[in-house]
Amino acid sequence: MARRTFFSFHYSSDVWRAWNVRNSWVAKPDHVDTGFFDNSVFEASKRENDDTLKAFLRKGLDNTSVTCVLTGTDTWQRRWVRYEIARSIIKGNGLLTVHIHGVKDRNGYTSTKGYDPLAQMGVYRSSGSIYLAEWKGGKWVSYSDYTRAIPESDLWFAAPKTDSVVQISNHCMAYDYVQQRGHQNIGGWIETAAGLAGR
């Protein structure tokens, strides 16, 4: 059965790097990618309104079992990458971070390693329910793009017991595409993420 993977990334900064990673993924049998849409479609949805863009991104996650966050310098602070992570948590997708700052862009340049986006998102317990949080302005705050409780049974990892935020990265693996030979190994990394999530 084909493994359907959603790739989340910061389009304007990292699309060239992301395409290189994606091409190494889809070159293997039974690998299907999603999340690589034409930027004009993304921008058109964004211009219409936030709800339209959210629906567009949720549809992109349909029928996927893993979300691979391709991480450059500023990916960690991008609102829509965070939304894709949040919806992946709610959906029960396996998650992993792949740092791609060392992949050359179209001009042959690498960039600076950024923070892990999965460390900037977390979950916490409040009044017996589980909610999403994000690191913003130097502190943890309730995640504003999805404010409803998440059923504990929907989480593939242990739910937090207190109101202290537990980073999503505590339950996921992170890799460096260049240093850890991602061209050869990304398939195994994605399968590990799927296995952790029971997908």
CATH number at residue 8: 3.40.50.450
pLDDT at 37: 47
| Residue 45 within a domain | yes
> Using CA atoms, how far apart are residues 197 and 66, in angstroms rounded to an integer?
9
- The H or E element spanning position 67 is strand 66-71
pLDDT at 109: 93
| Residue 55 within a domain | yes
pLDDT at 145: 97
Mean pLDDT by runs of 10 across the 199 residues of the chain is 80 85 67 50 64 86 91 95 96 97 93 97 96 97 97 94 97 97 91 94
pLDDT at 59: 87
pLDDT at 187: 87
Nearest to 168 by CA among 65, 70, 82: 82
| Residue 101 within a domain | yes
Total domains, the chain = 1
| Residue 17 within a domain | yes
| Residue 157 within a domain | no
pLDDT at 136: 96
**Which structural domain, as residue segments, surrounds residue 78?**
3-114+169-196
Q: How far apart are the first and last CA of the chain?
A: 12
pTM above 0.85, yes or no: yes
* Positive or negative torsion for Cα 138, 57, 14, 155: positive
pLDDT at 47: 65
